[in-house]
Amino acid sequence: MVSVNYSSLEAIQDEIRKGDLNCVSMVRHYLQNIEEKRHLNVFLEVYKDEALARAEEIDLKFSQGTQGRLAGLVVGLKDLLCYKDHRIQGGSKILEGFESQFSATAVKRLIAEDAIIIGRQNCDEFGMGSSNENSPFGPTLNEMDNTRVPGGSSGASAVSVQADMCQVALGSDTGGSVRQPAAFCGIIGLKPTYSRISRHGLIAYASSFDTIGIFSKSIEDNALVLEVIAGKDDYDSTVSQKKVENYTGAISYDKKARVAYLKETFESEGLNNDIKEKTLGTLDFLRREGHSVDEIVFPLMKYALPTYYILTTAEASSNLSRYDGVKYGYRSPKGKDLLSMYKKSRSEGFGPEVIRRIMLGTFVLSASYYDAYYTKAQKVRRLIKDQTQSILSDYDFIILPTTPTPPFKIGEKKNDPLEMYLADLFTVQASVAGIPAVSIPNGTDKDGLPIGLQIMTNDFKEKELFSFSKYILDKQ
């Protein structure tokens, strides 16, 4: 029986090579944890027999020395990533009964390197939420404190890694949905540069923001998975053609970094004091280590959240128009004619938050308000992107807290959408700008709740991001 919570795939593979472990026992271990921690409500489906059968195959490959790079890695998938011949529903009733006809490129690449997919995980409906409470399957609980949320929208994927139900999980990050739950669960969560990973097979929420993201316990696992899944793809015309770097080679940082922090972040009204102190503590540590740390003013900061919510709701209203009761999933039996069938299927199939966003998005795109909202927000997005990149031409990294508060109580913000949106205050800047950002654990608050540190850098500098994150994690 496996009793160790392995921090990295390398440790698992070492044990397998020594003959002390195999993939079957690894999968059994995760299955047992999934079973014992069912109350956390993480998995919508567990591929028990299939994962065990795959594990046997990969053990055989190990014995023949033909295993892929991810042999021994067990992965969970947010219910927004397609896996051929498996059900997927984007955490929504409207896709009830739908099965993926193909696998997401990222999923295909994981499997080609012998990763084992263990199941499909709960999430906020279509990725819209910050607490995992917007799911028709009920909230997922934070393992650290079951009365608290794990964050969202990829909250269950974060908990699966936090609670050792798999080694790595893939989520999606449109405005913070990987970084924020990673912070709430005390693990690592990466949102790479927009377009670094193909979006083929990722159910769309807001296409110009959506990125697949990676949850892990170690920087090494995160780097390895990114190396495997990133890169050009004939099925996604927006994916970057840029060569994928060797993220796994020498993850070390021996330079003196130029670090910026934004004055406005630390002046934010809702910023929790423990989080503020911890983040300032990291900045002090970096100063002591001889890195340069400067305060920068970024007055546009207050526009990042409204810009994000105008543009993403606009894109969502368009993306979600395809769920009409005809092409996919749920169809209301109550429709009397075509139009009422559309209306009833959508009103019954979508949850309240998704409906709210479709309505907001339709409003900002309507003829009379298009210029006032949508066009204006596009212009502000450009300004935020340009100014963020201009800071990043003088500095290697921008450091800020991942979230303004520690994990909040289940139910605390559920009925106040604006309060909920504020949970993304610090994560949306990277999403609006399209730059990579990672959340790494940064200790706990006075009640022992996890705190996340966010590091942002310029486009396609994931290698530096991994190296610097590891340096901070190891040294601090």
Q: List 61's β-bridge partners, or say none.
A: none
Q: Which is nearer to ligand GLN, 27 or 188 (CB)?
A: 188
Contacts of 42 by beta carbon, 8 Å cutoff, 6+ apart: 34, 76, 121, 122, 140, 156, 159, 160, 163, 165
DSSP string, 28-87: HHHHHHHHHTGGG--EEEE-HHHHHHHHHHHHHHHHHT---TTTT-EEEEETTB--TTSB
Coil, strand or helix at 148:
strand
Q: Which is nearer to ligand GLN, 179 or 463 (CB)?
A: 179
**Catalytic residue at 198?**
no
Angle CA(439)–CA(443)–CA(444) in degrees, nearest 5? 110
Q: Which is nearer to ligand GLN, 105 or 153 (CB)?
A: 153
Of the candidates 173, 176, 187, the one whose C-alpha atom is nearest the C-alpha of residue 144 is: 187
Q: Which is nearer to ligand GLN, 424 or 462 (CB)?
A: 424
Q: Which is nearer to ligand GLN, 37 or 179 (CB)?
A: 179
Q: Which is nearer to ligand GLN, 30 or 209 (CB)?
A: 209
Smallest separation (angstroms) from ligand GLN to the CB of 176: 5
Smallest separation (angstroms) from ligand GLN to the CB of 210: 8
CA distance 81 to 116: 15
Smallest separation (angstroms) from ligand GLN to the CB of 314: 13
Smallest separation (angstroms) from ligand GLN to the CB of 179: 8
Smallest separation (angstroms) from ligand GLN to the CB of 431: 7
Smallest separation (angstroms) from ligand GLN to the CB of 313: 9
CA distance 410 to 420: 12
**Catalytic residue at 463?**
no
Q: Which residue of this chain has its Cβ atom nearest to ligand GLN in the complex?
A: 177
Smallest separation (angstroms) from ligand GLN to the CB of 235: 21
Q: Which is nearer to ligand GLN, 153 or 282 (CB)?
A: 153
Q: Which is nearer to ligand GLN, 172 or 317 (CB)?
A: 172
CA distance 319 to 19: 49
CA distance 205 to 201: 12
451, 442 in Cβ contact below 8 A? yes
Q: Which is nearer to ligand GLN, 114 or 173 (CB)?
A: 173
Tracing tokens 């021994």 back to the chain, one arrives at: 72
Dihedral sign for Cα 263, 267, 271, 276, please.
Answer: positive
Smallest separation (angstroms) from ligand GLN to the CB of 194: 12
**Which of 135, 153, 157, 240 is an active site residue?**
153
Helix, strand, coil share (%) of the chain residues, nearest 5:
45, 15, 40
Residues within the interface to ligand GLN (CB under 6 A): 127-130, 152-153, 172-177, 205, 312, 424
**Which of 37, 78, 278, 463 is an active site residue?**
78
Of the candidates 98, 124, 119, the one whose C-alpha atom is nearest the C-alpha of residue 51 is: 119
Smallest separation (angstroms) from ligand GLN to the CB of 157: 11
33-38 CB contacts, 8 Å cutoff, 24+ apart: 33/163, 33/164, 33/165, 34/118, 34/119, 34/165, 37/143, 37/163, 37/165
Instruction: Give, as one character, the DSSP assignment of residue 239.
Output: S
**Which of 135, 177, 198, 469 is an active site residue?**
177
Q: How many residues does the chain have?
A: 476
Strands 258-262 and 292-296: parallel
Token pair, residue 403, equals 């979230």
**Catalytic residue at 78?**
yes
Dihedral sign for Cα 33, 35, 36, 37, please.
Answer: positive
CA distance 366 to 27: 51
Catalytic residues: 78, 153, 177
